[in-house]
Amino acid sequence: MSLGYAEKLSFIEDVGKVGMTEHFDPPNVLQEKVERLATLIRKSKHLVVFTGAGISTSCGIPDFRGPKGIWTLQREGKALPEASLPFHRAMPSLTHMALVELERAGILKFVISQNVDGLHLRSGIPREKLAELHGNSFMETCPSCGAEYLRDFEVETIGLKETSRRCSAKKCGAKLKDTVLDWEDALPTKEMNLAEKHCRMADIVLCLGTSLQITPACNLPLKSLRGGGKIVIVNLQKTPKDKKASLVIHGLVDKVVSGAMKSLNLQIPPFVRIDHFQINLTHALSLDKKFVNWTLRVASVHGQKAPLPFIKSVEISFLDREDYKAANLEKEPFQLKRRTVQSKSFEMVLKLNFSEGCGCPSIEMNIPVDFTVPTDCFNLEKNAILQELRETAIEESCCGQNAVIERRVVLNPKCEETVYAVVTNIVRHSKTTKVLETDSLSNGNVKRRLANGSETSRKRSKGHKRKSLS
């Protein structure tokens, strides 16, 4: 989990059991259990998955209670673990993407998560089929109209506090709030009601990577038992609910899920991350009307003051204009102010240098400038463009593809805002591409490989608070 998130939580003395012993089923036992799990999934009519921090450790996000978890190390007086990637660049694991395929196949009906890392949404799980019980570090919500805003940066607060942004819905404009719960915050009623509903309907509740200690969330899977459903637990540590489960698997979640998907003859899809940014060009004539004063800004689509975390710097040069000085923008806001002759058009080359964790170092874009503000605004078929970008990125096995998805024109002051989508990461989990070592169920370490070749090794509805112990 995000170390920033852990530091923002209010201090409580008792966070439950930490540093518990990890157990690994022998290979032959693990294989047999995985086959049983695959059979249960195959026969399931209403599969619900309940996830905890253990499904995100392979994404480079530390957990809380494991041997090297945040709270374990804190209690031992040791230095906190270091994430292998910035939190905002963490990408869905094999398990996240397997759940996407199960949902697309019509097998998985609902996902309940205690995680705040936002990876289920980013992976492609539909929002209406997901309950994030403890919130989402990348989500803001409007308390007035209920609108939700998924960000590409970590929201600065937790505890359902007001943030620095406002709702952009027409006739609203209320101040937004973060969605992440602190210890004493009540679980969101809507999320909890949906979670309870689907657990009661479930014939299988598959618990992945959770110690099942945080109440009341940990009691949700038990609701399936009343209707004859079964609980399956996949976790390295023993949990307080093991005795209630029909099947307990002690193994790495990615290994177990990979084996089950193989038995089900289901392919785990690649993950393609697409980020958005906008280029704003504002201009006005000088008083003598001989020159144009213009400003170029590379900005976030979430607002002028919002951070743009995946872009490290912007280099600007000019084609066929040796008299125009190049620029290197190394800090936000990425903004260039210039004065040029009013009658002359030119072409800029923008090199966007990406931050750590992106699958390619940079992209270059040619931007023609003639200071003739078009009157046409357009909003292209975003879904079709994004799907084409994904397919191209997968086919070419590289990042950097980009396309315009929207253009807005403001006449006073004269400004053209162009929104771009760009592929910044591809992660494959298919064994046929030799990028994931899943040939054996030996409970060893799982490696995943990025397209660029690098390796990456609380609460109830109103009146019920999040507690640390079962």
The catalytic residue positions are 134
Which of 445, 91, 105 is closest to 261 using CA atoms? 105
Strand blocks (E) in 307-463: 311-319, 327-329, 334-341, 346-354, 362-369, 378-379, 402-411, 414-428, 449-450
172 is in an annotated binding site: yes
To 10 degrees, the CA torsion angle through 209, 213, 216, 220? Answer: 40
- Burial status of residue 351 (CB atoms within 10 A of its CB: 0-12, 13-18, 19 or more): middle
Phi/psi of residue 360, nearest 5 degrees: -135, 150
User: 108 is written with which tokens?
Assistant: 């998985």
Q: Are 313 and 329 in contact (CB under 8 A)?
A: yes
Q: How far apart are CA 275 and CA 347, in angstroms?
A: 24
207 is in an annotated binding site: no
Distance of CA 461 to the CA centre of its chain: 25
Q: How far apart are CA 383 and CA 386, in angstroms?
A: 5
Instruction: Work out the angle at residue 349's Cα, subtended by the Cα atoms of residues 404 and 280, and round it to the nearest 5 degrees.
Output: 50
Beta strands across the sheet bearing 311-319:
327-329, 311-319, 346-354, 362-369
Beta bridge pairs of residue 177: 141, 162
Q: Which long-range contacts (CB under 8 A, 24 or more apart) does 168-172 make?
A: 169/142, 169/145, 172/142, 172/144, 172/145, 172/147
Instruction: Give the H/E segment covering residue 3.
Output: helix 3-8
DSSP class of 343:
T
Which of 230, 233, 250 is closest to 242 using CA atoms? 233
Q: How far apart are CA 262 and CA 437, in angstroms?
A: 13
199 is in an annotated binding site: no
User: Computed over its alpha carbons, how large is the radius of gyration of the chain?
Assistant: 24
DSSP labels for 20-49? PPP----HHHHHHHHHHHHHHHHH-SSEEE
Q: How far apart are CA 10 and CA 458, in angstroms?
A: 13
Beta bridge pairs of residue 299: 278
Three-class secondary structure of residue 281 per DSSP: strand
User: 435 is written with which tokens?
Assistant: 């990028």
Residue 413: cis peptide before it, omega within 30 degrees of 0 = yes
Q: How far apart are CA 217 and CA 195, in angstroms?
A: 9
358 is in an annotated binding site: no
- In the annotated binding site, the residues are 142, 145, 167, 172
Residues of each annotated binding site for Zn(2+): 142, 145, 167, 172
